[in-house]
């Protein structure tokens, strides 16, 4: 708690009315890779508490569609559709397509497992969440769409990268400045989805 009170991005989020410091991670990834755009249809998996949703809505603007999905209830945000659902449930795909009125341009995931303290186990759970998000993305993305997901670094990183790269033109790994230095998180940024 003491660290949090001194954390630059935590304090900045409080000042600027973002629901989490994670908003700055997404903003930094967007500044570097430019995968979101005005008018986009965007789905955020594991979206609670909603910091990423706020950034997505700012970029999508009034003509865009932003949908947030999480196991936890997401407190209402103006202009954003939220639903309580399990990303690993196959019915999520239909729910997304119905809510978006068809295929979407961007699928994002900042999902992380509950930390057990066992590094290898946490990494494997993180990799499984990325692949679950990827399975949704493959079914709901329009051609040339983008997929961005958080992954803990570890032995399955290459396998995740190869799986994602099988259907995207360009895949990169990047750690935003807003990520805590001691964190093992990195992000998979995939663009140019091949339907």
| Per-residue model confidence (pLDDT) at position 151 | 97
Q: What are the sequence ranges of the domains in the chain?
A: 21-193
Mean pLDDT of the chain: 91
Residue 153: CA atoms inside 13 Å, Cβ hemisphere, count?
Answer: 8
* For the ranges 42-46, 109-113, 120-124, 179-183, the one whose mean pLDDT is highest: 42-46
Q: Which residues are catalytic?
A: 150
Angle of helix 119-140 relative to helix 157-165, nearest 10 degrees? 10
Residue 11 has pLDDT above 80, yes or no: no
Decide: 195 and 143 in contact? Cβ < 8 Å: yes
Mind listing the pLDDT tens digit for each residue in 135-175? 999 999 999 999 999 999 999 999 999 999 999 999 999 99
Report residue 52 as tokens: 């990423």
State how far the Cα of 181 lies from the Cα of 183, in Å rounded to an integer.
6
Alpha helices by DSSP H, the chain? 2-6, 8-15, 22-33, 51-60, 91-100, 119-140, 157-165
Between the alpha carbon of residue 176 and those of residues 36, 48, 173, 188, 189, the distances in Å are 16, 20, 10, 11, 12
Q: Is the pTM above the cut of 0.85? A: yes
Domain spanning 21-193, CATH architecture: 3-Layer(aba) Sandwich (3.40)
């Amino acid at each position: 708690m003491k660290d949090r009170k001194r954390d630059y991005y935590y304090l900045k989020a409080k000042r600027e009315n973002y629901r989490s410091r994670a908003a700055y991670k997404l903003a930094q990834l967007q500044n570097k890779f430019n995968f979101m755009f005005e008018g986009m249809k965007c789905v955020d998996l594991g979206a609670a508490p909603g910091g990423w949703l706020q950034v997505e809505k700012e970029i999508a603007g009034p003509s865009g569609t932003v949908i947030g999905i999480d196991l936890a209830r997401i407190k209402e945000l103006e202009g954003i559709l939220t639903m309580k659902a399990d990303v690993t449930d196959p019915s999520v795909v239909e729910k997304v397509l119905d809510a978006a009125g068809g295929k979407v341009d961007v699928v994002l995931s900042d999902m992380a497992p509950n930390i057990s303290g066992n590094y290898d186990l946490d990494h494997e759970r993180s990799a499984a969440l990325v692949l679950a998000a990827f399975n949704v993305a493959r079914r709901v993305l329009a051609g040339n769409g983008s997929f961005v997901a958080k992954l803990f670094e570890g032995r399955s990183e290459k396998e995740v990268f190869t799986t994602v790269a099988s259907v995207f033109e360009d895949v990169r790994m990047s750690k935003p400045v807003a990520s805590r230095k001691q964190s093992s998180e990195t992000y998979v940024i995939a663009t140019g989805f091949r339907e």
